[in-house]
Chains A and B, each alone.
Chain A
Amino acid sequence: MELNWALIAPLFFVQFILMIVALIDLIKIKKTNGPKWLWVIVVLFVSTLGPILYFIIGRKEH
């Protein structure tokens, strides 16, 4: 079965890369809104929206 890579690429980017970026950010950041491990679970269990929610309400700038 052929795959439409033009279609996959943006999805791959948004879903997979977003998760990676969120996890790396979680590693680096000192403080989050609420416990860090909770955000790890949200990022891992709720695809796409989890990482986005993390970036909006989970991050805490110092």
Chain B
Amino acid sequence: MIKFYYSMIVIMFFVNFSIAFMPYLTRKTENFGVSIPESAYDRPDFKAMRKKYSVRLNIVNISFILLFIAGNLYLQENTLTIIFSSLIVIYLLLSLLFYLPFHHEMKKIKQSEKWHEQYNQTIIIDPKFRVEKLIYPNYLYVIPFLIVLIVSVFTWIKFDLIPEQVPIHTSFFGEVTYGEKTFGNVFLLPSTALILISLFVFVNYIIKQAKQQISAANPNVSRKQNIIFRRRWSLFLFVMSVLLTLMFSFLQLTLIYQTLLPYQEIVIFIVVGLILFGVILLSFTTGQGGSRVKLLQEEEQQKIERDDDRYWKLGQFYVNKNDPAIFVEKRFGIGWTNNWAHPLSWILIIVILGLAIGLPIFIQSL
């Protein structure tokens, strides 16, 4: 029960973190999904909008957490799950409800300010951008892969030492469920580690492929920031994969050497703590596209990026037929999203959903 309770709080915390602080973490060339000149980012009225949005959502978040804590005292876990799910949905809907008026207000301001007529609209493409080292190479993932391999071979050799009942699930606060000593159960952790390593390789690929976006007002700084942004997240992914692999390896070793069991919780706690702390630290120090990376400023040019707001539906969904890029930085958020006008977006989704539905049916028919 207590574990369930903590994991709900962690989920709520991250949902809130990734949504309530968003206006502060975006690029400085946009405010609530509307593109603006970089010099306008610090306008007092824009600052007030960001603050309002953030304060409102944080208040909602805190009251929901209090509600949840209160519910926890009186209610059963099943009821709580339903309540918590509803709270998350309400939170997400509220975030949209708070976002939309600001988005529309920004559109109005933009129309009256006529920035895109005042400033020189420019699009900056650096042909050498892709030559730069944008990510840490995927072959580095051979390291966690080898760790998994070594641990698996070792498990194979020591197979007889493993007791008849093996833990098949450890929640991140150390709650353990046991199962029969089958091949699948014994190699559960290494195979999960492999799935996660492939996931990281894929995200690393997205980071590399994501569209080049260079601010027209500060092209040199923005270019560097963007490279730093990609490299940091890429490095973080790699470090995370190694940490998780080490954690999984340690858990795997506890199968063979039960004397290691007392250290299990502390190992999990350290790894989880480091990664969660890392995500937050990285988001705040780097910002979307590297917007929060402090570099020596250059003289700001009276230029603005080519207006592409019409391709950002509601400032959130990117639909641009003329853009060959499939992965782009989120406009209002940290992370990446896809160009919906790119056929591959739909093909990927159909294939992936097809696999998700088809595979279980296929496996059952065997």
Contacts and interface: CB of A to CB of B under 8 A. Distances in A.
Nearest to B268: A35
Interface in A16-52: 16, 19-20, 23-24, 26-28, 30-31, 33-38, 40-42, 44-49, 52
Contacts, number: 118
B253 interface: no
Contacts of B203: 42, 46
B293 interface: no
A37 B317 contact: no
A38 B14 CA distance: 11
A27 B85 contact: yes
Interface in B9-24: 10-11, 14-15, 18
Interface in B158-213: 169, 171-172, 192-193, 195-196, 198-199, 202-203, 206
B197 to A, nearest CB: 10
Interface of A: 1, 3-4, 7-8, 11-12, 14-16, 19-20, 23-24, 26-28, 30-31, 33-38, 40-42, 44-49, 52-53, 55-57
Contact of B317 (A8, A19, A42, A57): A8
Contacts of B272: 35, 37
Contacts of A37: 7, 10-11, 14, 172, 272, 276
Interface of B: 7-8, 10-11, 14-15, 18, 81, 84-85, 88-89, 92, 96, 107, 169, 171-172, 192-193, 195-196, 198-199, 202-203, 206, 244, 272, 275-276, 279, 310, 313-314, 316-317, 319, 330, 333-338, 340, 345, 348-349, 352-353, 355-356
B199 A24 contact: no
Given A27-B11, A49-B338, A44 B18 contact: yes
B206 A46 contact: yes
